Chain A
Amino acid sequence: MLYREAGDYKTSYTDDAQTFPIKLDRWWYYAVVFVAFCIVPFVLTDYTVNAIMLPFLIFAIAALGLNILTGYCGQVSLGTGGFMAVGAYATYKLMTAFPDLNIFFIVILSGLITAIVGVLFGLPSLRIKGFYLAVATLAAQFFLVWLFNKVPWFYNNSASGQISAPERTIFGQAVTGPNAEPWVAYLFCLIFVFTLAWLTRNLTRGRIGRSWMAIRDMDIAAEIIGVNPLRTKLSAFAVSSFFIGISGSLFFAVYLGAAEVGEAFGIQKSFLVLFMVIIGGLGSIFGAFAGAAFMVLLPVFLKIFFVDTLGWPTDIAAHINFLIAGGLIVFFLIVEPHGLAALWRTVKEKLRLWPFPH
């Protein structure tokens, strides 16, 4: 009744090919964007930004990036943590080497540097496939972590081996460092998220995106119909790493403020982001957001429920947290292997018919 496409006539191809062909969807999308940009910044507190919003936005970028590689191009990667580390260390080096460079450009440059590294580690994908490739990307993960730990140049020879982000401003407002207002940090990340999501949508429905999907669905067949696997796979690695580099850069500079490579960018990060992509739904932009929200919010909710509401000892709550997180992941995969995005699609189908069953 409420959610319908009847009466929504299209008179041009542009109309037909738009991202949200249904009017209600479109209005819904405008409303979300409006709320995110114009209302949320005014109601934010330190806690909501630092514990929920920033990790959600930053992991959404990482999930978008990995989704391009795994969901659209079919190359499973477990090197996400390592690539995030590249973004973070590139940011640190650029921030300290060029104190006057605007942080906005630093983040983008870090993404570009990560893209180059990503292409390098993507080269074996031309020979290796499936799980062999997934495990091979772990080589990138472990090597990069070791490298950033071992070479003092990456952390400016500091005695502590940690990198910490100095304060940088945009339009006089601190974006990084402890004095950054929560709403500034939020908006800064949100702009990246919005732009990159828009970019993903438009990449994936264009020529490049179609060639990625052709490779994903069957690489030999794709090669036969004229898709160049070298260029396609490497472009997927480059774009994906660019995204992941940006998320690593924001993760370090805006969210954490200080980082040590083994702890912040270890193998758990790689698994976490892969989880987001799978739980959210492979090959779906909405899925990347849903997965990131799910994985970021779940521990917070469980903690609030068990510790703050029920008053259980924190360690039992933490064990049960693992138990429930693992159980939910398995449950979701059993109920809907194609992720939250597929669930959402089903709901929409149902809504279209509601309240009439046929």
Chain B
Amino acid sequence: MKLKTLVLAACTTAIVAGSASADLVFPLLDYRTGPYASGGIPFADGYADYLTLLQERDGGIGGEPIRQIPCETGYNTERGVECYESTKGEGALVYQPLSTGITYQLIPKVTADDIPMHTMGYGRTSASNGEVFSHVFNYPANYWDAASGIVNYLLEETGGDLEGKTIALVYHDSSFGAEPIRTLQALGEEHGFTVSLKAVSPPGNEQRSTWLEVRRERPDYVIMWGWGVQNSVAIQEAANIRFPMNNFYGVWWSGSENDVIPAGAGADGYRSVTFHGVGDDYPVYDDIQAHVVDAGLAAGAGDQIGTVLYNRGMYAAMLAAEAVKTAQEIHGVADITPAMMRDGMEALVIDEAKMEALGLPGFGPEFSVSCADHGGPGSSAMAEWDADTQTWSLISDFADPDKDVIGRLVMEDSLAYAAENNIPETRCE
């Protein structure tokens, strides 16, 4: 983008913002710098590009123009707080911080300020209990759904028999990495497999001892819960010890191009669970190319289109835009407030017809959100990496996780939070 136009745009937005915020404000809390920049950049590009597309092609949502306020967090919680405080007064509709740390800070704050927050595939898993977490949404899937999704896939592949098998969990030694442990252990009791835990010291440049351990123990499957440099090193090491890639499964944050390309041909066959489609074979990308990239309005270099994390960012923006439309329908006004946005998110319905109309046929599962259920169905599919063609492809359909086990864990954790913070669970009655 030209600097001059940017300056002009900034000035005009400043003037507009000064007079009245009669537009739909989307704060972009992204990180293009810092330790996780390589993951943050494509996500931020996708999110911004989709909003720019709506603005350029449709003139906004429901006739109401869109205003984006980018704010760099650098994956740093204090910067995240600063970004939140500096944007919330602008009429920010929904926050999507893409950082579990920032999410936890914002959960009480957004609830008090009556602004919704959407943490898609990350954040606090038990926030899917809408009774307790009124302003936090994590549809369509969360960490525990991912763990269950992987186990379900394994069950299907082995014909329902995981009895006596061993699954090693190689995880980022932080609260993010520890998320799936309880789910996997609960599922292990049910299906008779044992979970062997392998913590990796962050950031994970050096994982030799972990993989020597894996090599010694020879687990049947390895599940990885990583982010950033840990992923590519782990895949490289797994390839080096000749662990069969088809038995190596990653969470969705361990399944982008960034993670597999450094390992080269060795990564062929690596699998990662996902809650949305892969590749750039969707009509919406032609629009993005025509209205955004070719017009010189792309948020980044325009070279990330169709990568996994770009798609995820775009999907997040798409769900936010759909929620805006829903809110506009409910309240009958185009210029919605954050509180109306929350109602829109709570009544969001995504079906195949809608996705088809948006140019994203079959991109994600069909789902609906309700007052009590902010988590959606948690459906996930499995993607596999092909090192020759350098593409991900889906090798299974979207399938539901084991809601019995996850629902129990969600209730347990959210009720503990409710008790600690004196939140009544009667909101939806």
Contacts and interface: CB of A to CB of B under 8 A. Distances in A.
Q: Do A and B bind each other?
A: yes
Interface of A: 46-47, 50-51, 55, 96, 146, 149-150, 155, 158-162, 164, 166-167, 177-179, 255-260, 262-264, 299-300, 303, 307-315, 317-319, 322
Nearest to B4: A311
B216 to A, nearest CB: 22
A162 B417 CA distance: 11
A258 B100 contact: no
B32 interface: yes
Contacts of B74: 318
B22 to A, nearest CB: 20
A319 B41 CA distance: 14
A313 B48 CA distance: 12
Contact of A161 (B79, B105, B178): B178
Interface in B18-50: 30, 32-33, 41
A47 B107 contact: no
Interface stretch (B81-89, B255-263, B267-275): B81-89
Nearest to A164: B104
A260 B104 contact: yes
B110 to A, nearest CB: 8
Contacts of B105: 256-258
A92 B280 CA distance: 47
B108 A164 contact: yes
A309 B14 CA distance: 9
Nearest to B89: A47
Nearest to B202: A262
Contacts of A166: 420-422
Given A160-B124, A318-B33, A263 B86 contact: no
B85 A178 contact: no
Nearest to B175: A161
B288 to A, nearest CB: 19
Nearest to A161: B175
Contacts of B179: 159-161
Contacts of A309: 10
Nearest to A155: B175
B174 A314 contact: no
B72 A161 contact: no
Contact of B77 (A155, A264, A307, A314): A264
Contact of B6 (A50, A96, A299, A312): A312
Given A160-B175, A166-B421, A264 B101 contact: yes
Given A164-B108, A303-B72, A311-B11, 7 more contacts: A46-B88, A150-B173, A161-B174, A166-B420, A258-B105, A263-B174, A318-B74
B7 A317 contact: no
Query: Which of A51, A255, A259, A310 is packed against the most chain B CB atoms within 10 Å?
Result: A51
